[in-house]
Structure 1
């Protein structure tokens, strides 16, 4: 219930921002058009954003024939989590990372990168997959995919406002400033609003699913260290999706790092270590 309320609040907030940008572009008519656009975007995001994110990340679906060990691991962990078997994808990037997506557990997917498969010991890989299954179990995936889609829509509307300069009776030059500052800032703030709590919760629940909190802690440390050395180009081209990953995929030199879409890795590791000591 809380997850559904959070999704509704995020949709409402992003819709209001879209309407505000529409008003600056075209007054009342622009606001109405933005409202219609936001409604269509919300419906589209609800049903299709998971597929869009997978396409953006150049994800390739695998099965028991093409990746038997990975698929068997996902199946075993999904059974432990009392979840339907999700679709399994591999991302064609050497950066170790992973995310989950889908509007519900019956229509979900787990995606891992080639770099994750190449660099993770089996127990740490299981911890990462369990973390992503926890997102599916908690229905975070809908929140993440819808938010990423709406953040992209906000950025697009902001660009339109920037290049048009806005209506002269709506601030004109001020509209351009708002487009450059508020629109991307709002998108970043939305990512931050949902990311910290859901990551801590998915760490805890993922550790319970895998039964190995220290393995997940070690995986987080390893991914954080290696991710900063490898550029994930699909993620760089689509920064609104960054909050979906287990570790921020954006390169350390990017300005996007100013927006803390993920909790501090050190704090996440400390919580998992405390969890292991308390078992």
Structure 2
């Protein structure tokens, strides 16, 4: 909760700074003269920008269970399930977080963690992961997911998405007003077609640029989670082996919208700008240079 309050306070400060900058540069007066209520637009942008992201976070656990068909292990029915639950409990204790729900779902090798709160998260692994990897490697993957939870990555990524959404909504409408009222000389009380077309185009363009920012943070958090697994296990070697194994097999696909939650991924070339995961080679190299205290 403290993380959420501090982050929201920071974002509010960013919005206020944006408003001041617009006024200092004279943009605020210009858009006000064009008929824009900057304050109301900022509030509207914040509400639109954050509402969807926060709702998605709050329903992330039930949606993940439903979309993947994950079965929560309430009463372990096999030695593997018992080992899985006990391992997650041990890792959660080391990380100082509450015991997450542990689930298994049918699919190719992959794993994910989600949830709005670090003390009531969900950690799920696929049957393909359990069948294709050694227990040391699976433990490293579980450590990676527990590190995500302990770092508050799901919350932070959601709030960052909310921030960039806010800027996309705000700037698209400012440009739309400018085009409609200034360039197209629309002096009518109602906004014209120029506004609607400009906002539509700007939301696409700004949205693509914003997704690059979100993807960069997502890649950064993967490095942190890899390092977190190494610290929880006391050695980076199991995580290196797990990543090397995952790099040699096709990753299990997750439902649309959950790709950033998986253990593996990554693109090359221009696609790397939008990738939620770094290449396996970079992650392994980062672990090799990791200094554990």
RMSD between aligned residues: 4.2
- 1:232 to 2:232 alignment: no
Matches within 5 A, 1:257-272: 258-272=273-287
Q: How many residues end up aligned between the 2 structures?
A: 252
Inter-CA distance 245–6: structure 2 relative to 1 (3 Å threshold): farther
The equivalent of 1:110 in structure 2 is 123
The equivalent of 1:182 in structure 2 is 206
Work out which of the residue numbers 91, 106, 111 in structure 2 matches 1:92: 106
Distance 2:156 2:104 in 1: 22
State the secondary structure of the residue aligned to 1:142: helix
State the secondary structure of the residue aligned to 2:289: helix
Deviation at 1:33, TM superposition (A): 5.5
Deviation at 1:9, TM superposition (A): 8.0
The equivalent of 2:62 in structure 1 is 51
- 1:8 to 2:8 alignment: yes
The equivalent of 1:122 in structure 2 is 135
Deviation at 1:129, TM superposition (A): 0.5
Inter-CA distance 269–178: structure 2 relative to 1 (3 Å threshold): same
Distance 1:262 1:91 in 2: 22
Distance 1:129 1:123 in 2: 10
Work out which of the residue numbers 230, 243, 266 in structure 1 matches 2:260: 243
Inter-CA distance 170–11: structure 2 relative to 1 (3 Å threshold): farther
Work out which of the residue numbers 222, 226, 246 in structure 2 matches 1:203: 226
Deviation at 1:101, TM superposition (A): 1.6
Deviation at 1:175, TM superposition (A): 3.3
Work out which of the residue numbers 76, 88, 92 in structure 2 matches 1:78: 92
Larger radius of gyration: 2
Matches within 5 A, 1:9-28: none
Distance 1:45 1:82 in 2: 25
- Are 2:53 and 2:159, in contact at CA under 8 Å, matched by a contact in 1? yes
- Are 1:97 and 1:113, in contact at CA under 8 Å, matched by a contact in 2? yes
The equivalent of 2:27 in structure 1 is none
Inter-CA distance 84–181: structure 2 relative to 1 (3 Å threshold): same
- Are 1:200 and 1:268, in contact at CA under 8 Å, matched by a contact in 2? yes
Deviations 1:18-41 (A, max 9, x none): xxxxxxxxx868876554444543
Matches within 5 A, 1:31-46: 35-38=46-49, 40-41=51-52, 43-45=54-56
- Are 1:221 and 1:265, in contact at CA under 8 Å, matched by a contact in 2? yes
Distance 1:201 1:6 in 2: 21
Inter-CA distance 233–106: structure 2 relative to 1 (3 Å threshold): closer
- Are 1:116 and 1:125, in contact at CA under 8 Å, matched by a contact in 2? yes
State the secondary structure of the residue aligned to 1:262: coil
- Are 2:110 and 2:251, in contact at CA under 8 Å, matched by a contact in 1? no
TM-score (norm 2): 0.67
TM-score (norm 1): 0.70
Of 170-179 and 29-38, the range deviating more from structure 2: 29-38
* Structure 2 unaligned residues grouped into runs of 5+: 17-35, 174-179, 181-190
